[in-house]
A and B are shown apart, each in its own frame.
Chain A
Amino acid sequence: MRFVDEYRNETDAQKLLRGIMRTVTRPWTIMEICGGQTHTLIKSGIDRLLPPEITLVHGPGCPVCVTPLELIDRAIAIARQPGVIFTSFGDMLRVPGSQTDLLRVKAQGGDVRMVYSPLDALKLARKHPDHQVVFFAVGFETTAPGNAMAVWQAKQLGLSNFSILCSHVLVPPAMEAILSSPANTVQGFLAAGHVCSVMGYWEYEPIAARYHIPVVVTGFEPLDLLQGIYMTVRALEEGRVGVENQYSRAVSREGNRSAQQLMAQVFQVSDRKWRGIGAIPQSGYSLRPEFAAFDAGQRFGVAGIVAAESPVCIAGQIMQGLKKPHDCPAFGTLCTPEHPLGAPMVSSEGACAAYYQYGRAG
């Protein structure tokens, strides 16, 4: 299949692996930011093909995992209200709140629907003027343009029955939080290619310079990741810092300007709480005051709901690269996909789910 097979063949994988092995002379710890990259690494077995000097740690780039517990509880509170059609990407439905999850709310009669795009939720709002349609707007810079577009269109259309429960987060502040932690072990980053296709990579240049690290913008196919790791190892071995772009077929330095303009029109940068990690200043998006009418948290009076995390789940440490899933005593015992204690065990981008599903027990 075109555009897929080119990035998944064994001959080129072997070439890149040999390159990595020839280059590496000492231990390095590299973090892939995005949970989609974590899954590719484990699913294709790259983690076990790399030389022992290279340790991959898994980053916070799983939108499902970092969405705060209380936001799931707020979503559940809204979805239970009569007259509400609650829409979400499929991934969020299984994530445990403090009592239950959205799939079970659906099983108990709530009108919870999976959509593929926020614009599908907007269509539902036009089709059901007698219902309140709410979209669970989570994600990084990748999903933000679509969500911004949905809100912008809703305003143009004068829709009063559409709103979003917004929990957008941003990559650069999370990278800074990881790098400035005294416990940090990360020496190089594979930046998330999809985020960069929207935002470009100029934002990472000052971070790379400030913390003296290489950052390689990397794609999501097995060969992308192998090449990204190769480029990072080469930079580390040669003592180079700065941003390099492995994913040049999709990413430019400036990114997608029209998407950025739309996002700036609808969203403003604000403080955000990250599940398992805590509050990070200026690390997310919220709706600008002129779009406040589309804020589901305000509309349904759920903004006051707060919740405490499970004391057993170490998701926060895993997403900061401080621990691996199998370092958690609950992994595979108390915490399984059937009985998740935290989001990383159920998200298709969660590190715990990858380790569990693809057999990385320890």
Chain B
Amino acid sequence: MTMGDSNAPADLLAFTCPIPISDYPTITLAHGGGGRLTQMLIEKMLVPTFANPALEALHDGAVLGLPTTTGEAQTRLAFSTDSFVVSPLFFPGGDIGSLAVHGTVNDLAMCGARPLALSAGFILEEGLAMTDLWRIVQSMGQAAQRVGVPIATGDTKVVDHGKGDGIYINTSGVGIIPANVHISPTRARPGDVVIVSGRIAVHGIAIMSVREGLEFETALESDSAPLADLVSRVLAAGSEGVHVLRDPTRGGVSSALNEIAGQARVGIRLVEASIPIDDAVRGACEILGLDPLYVANEGKCIAIVAREVAEAVLAAFREDPLGQQAAIIGEVVPEHPSKVYMRSRIGGMRVVDMLSGEQLPRIC
């Protein structure tokens, strides 16, 4: 685009918004659900506008090659950002501070990178208790220390009372990708095996149970955890046979696998009975009418690996404290490209589609 020779301002109205305003004149919560509407925002508005190869890879983070003058192999950096708006700020198993560190560390890990440094941006609401902020900052510090990554830069802003949920945090991070690691959603290929690192849907159900005041016999704790060490183990065991890594956060396992199937143009076939899930979580999902495949995780990793290394990778997962319940849940197939199918517990087949908006509990 050129701005023309005159000094006249660009005619912004000449650019048609790619998302018909008549359909969605305003943002709804469903645009943040991690499903099809979120994808529409990203793919129709953000990616075409900011068009560049790193963004277009649509990975958890961008992979950037550092320019070299000597002609040696490039050092590759992973660069990622994530914003945290969770309510409540403190929840069983974590808080917004540790979650903000884990989220970006995990996005970098899913690029195969060891984190080098993080940034932290705070949007604080007037009236937030100083003790709460102190707890959150302490928790961030501890989480970063556990991973061994410095929070090297940051920013604070304060907004009027009523214009924020106490605190929002953005974290960004950079990490270095080892030379022999090539992780990309497009590398999934028929014959590959799909592994999940542990029991799914824990974070989303734990948050929902505190937010909605639901009480269950078993107390559920979020699975929020840093996956950098786990990923290192997996990469050591599977080497170049590790094709795709993804942390199935918002939108759950189903959204992550649908994205991968779409980007690699392959089919994915799951076996429902092999997907690890905690009984309490499953019970909560049954009662509320939610599908655990769409519920958020904050300390789980999906790996798509060559069949030859599957057993070694599975063993590596299970050696790590965060991967003891790891399981093979399916495979990549040449049939039904871009679609995810699942064999049900009684032996029927169905499509596992991407969610449209947010899951809403049903009437009866």
B360 touches A94 (CB 8 A): yes
B30 touches A10 (CB 8 A): no
Any B CB within 8 A of the CB of A138: yes
> Which residue in chain A gives the minimum CB-CB distance to B336?
A359
> Which residue in chain A gives the minimum CB-CB distance to B277?
A1
CA–CA, A223 and B347, complex, Å: 12
CA–CA, A106 and B29, complex, Å: 9
Given A4-B286, A10-B346, are A359 and B279 neighbors across the interface (CB < 8 Å)?
Answer: no
Assign chain B's interface to a size class: 35 or more
CA–CA, A142 and B363, complex, Å: 9
List chain A residues, Cβ under 8 A from B161: none
> Which residue in chain B gives the minimum CB-CB distance to A13?
B346
Any A CB within 8 A of the CB of B217: no
8 Å CB contacts to B: which residues of A61-106? 63-64, 89-94, 103-104, 106
Any B CB within 8 A of the CB of A358: yes
A45 touches B346 (CB 8 A): yes
**Closest beta carbon of chain A to B342's beta carbon, Å:** 9
Given A103-B30, A356-B353, are A44 and B286 neighbors across the interface (CB < 8 Å)?
Answer: no
> Taking each of A107, A108, A222, which has the highest tally of chain B beta carbons within 10 Å of its own beta carbon?
A107
Any B CB within 8 A of the CB of A348: yes
A44 touches B361 (CB 8 A): no
List chain B residues, Cβ under 8 A from A347: 362
List chain A residues, Cβ under 8 A from B279: 1
Any A CB within 8 A of the CB of B348: yes
Any B CB within 8 A of the CB of A306: no
Any A CB within 8 A of the CB of B137: no
B289 touches A348 (CB 8 A): yes
B29 touches A107 (CB 8 A): yes
B362 touches A42 (CB 8 A): no
CA–CA, A288 and B360, complex, Å: 31
CA–CA, A349 and B289, complex, Å: 10
List chain A residues, Cβ under 8 A from B350: 42-45, 358-359
Any B CB within 8 A of the CB of A9: yes
Any A CB within 8 A of the CB of B356: yes
Given A107-B29, A358-B351, are A44 and B364 neighbors across the interface (CB < 8 Å)?
Answer: no
List chain A residues, Cβ under 8 A from B214: 116
Binds A, one of B20-28, B90-98, B140-148, B183-191: B20-28
List chain A residues, Cβ under 8 A from B289: 348
Any A CB within 8 A of the CB of B339: yes
> Which residue in chain A gives the minimum CB-CB distance to B214?
A116
List chain A residues, Cβ under 8 A from B29: 103, 106-107
> Taking each of B30, B40, B347, B351, which has the highest tally of chain A beta carbons within 10 Å of its own beta carbon?
B347
CA–CA, A349 and B353, complex, Å: 16
> Taking each of B26, B279, B286, B363, which has the highest tally of chain A beta carbons within 10 Å of its own beta carbon?
B363
Given A1-B283, A348-B360, are A116 and B346 neighbors across the interface (CB < 8 Å)?
Answer: no
Given A103-B29, A103-B30, A107-B29, are A114 and B348 neighbors across the interface (CB < 8 Å)?
Answer: no
A64 touches B346 (CB 8 A): no
Given A338-B37, A339-B23, are A139 and B30 neighbors across the interface (CB < 8 Å)?
Answer: no
CA–CA, A49 and B343, complex, Å: 12
CA–CA, A114 and B364, complex, Å: 14
CA–CA, A339 and B349, complex, Å: 26
CA–CA, A161 and B214, complex, Å: 25
**Closest beta carbon of chain A to B293's beta carbon, Å:** 11
**Closest beta carbon of chain A to B307's beta carbon, Å:** 25
Any A CB within 8 A of the CB of B153: no
**Closest beta carbon of chain A to B212's beta carbon, Å:** 7
**Closest beta carbon of chain B to A321's beta carbon, Å:** 21
List chain B residues, Cβ under 8 A from A338: 23, 36-37, 40, 356-357
Any B CB within 8 A of the CB of A184: no
Q: What does the 1/0 interface line of A35-69 toward B look like (CB < 8 Å)?
A: 01000001111101100000000000001100000
List chain A residues, Cβ under 8 A from B353: 356-359
List chain A residues, Cβ under 8 A from B37: 338
A residues neighboring B (CB under 8 Å): 1, 4, 8-10, 13-14, 36, 42-46, 48-49, 63-64, 89-94, 103-104, 106-108, 114, 116, 138-140, 142-143, 194, 222-223, 226, 336-339, 347-349, 356-359
10 A-B residue pairs with Cβ-Cβ distance under 8 Å, sorted by A, are A36-B364, A44-B348, A45-B344, A48-B348, A103-B30, A107-B28, A222-B344, A226-B346, A348-B289, A359-B351
Q: Which 7 A-B pairs have the closest CB atoms?
A: A45-B348, A359-B351, A90-B360, A337-B356, A13-B346, A358-B350, A348-B362
Given A91-B363, A358-B353, output 19 extra A-B contacts at Cβ < 8 Å. Answer: A1-B279, A4-B283, A8-B346, A10-B347, A36-B364, A44-B344, A44-B345, A44-B346, A44-B350, A45-B347, A46-B348, A91-B360, A103-B28, A104-B26, A107-B27, A116-B212, A143-B364, A337-B357, A348-B289
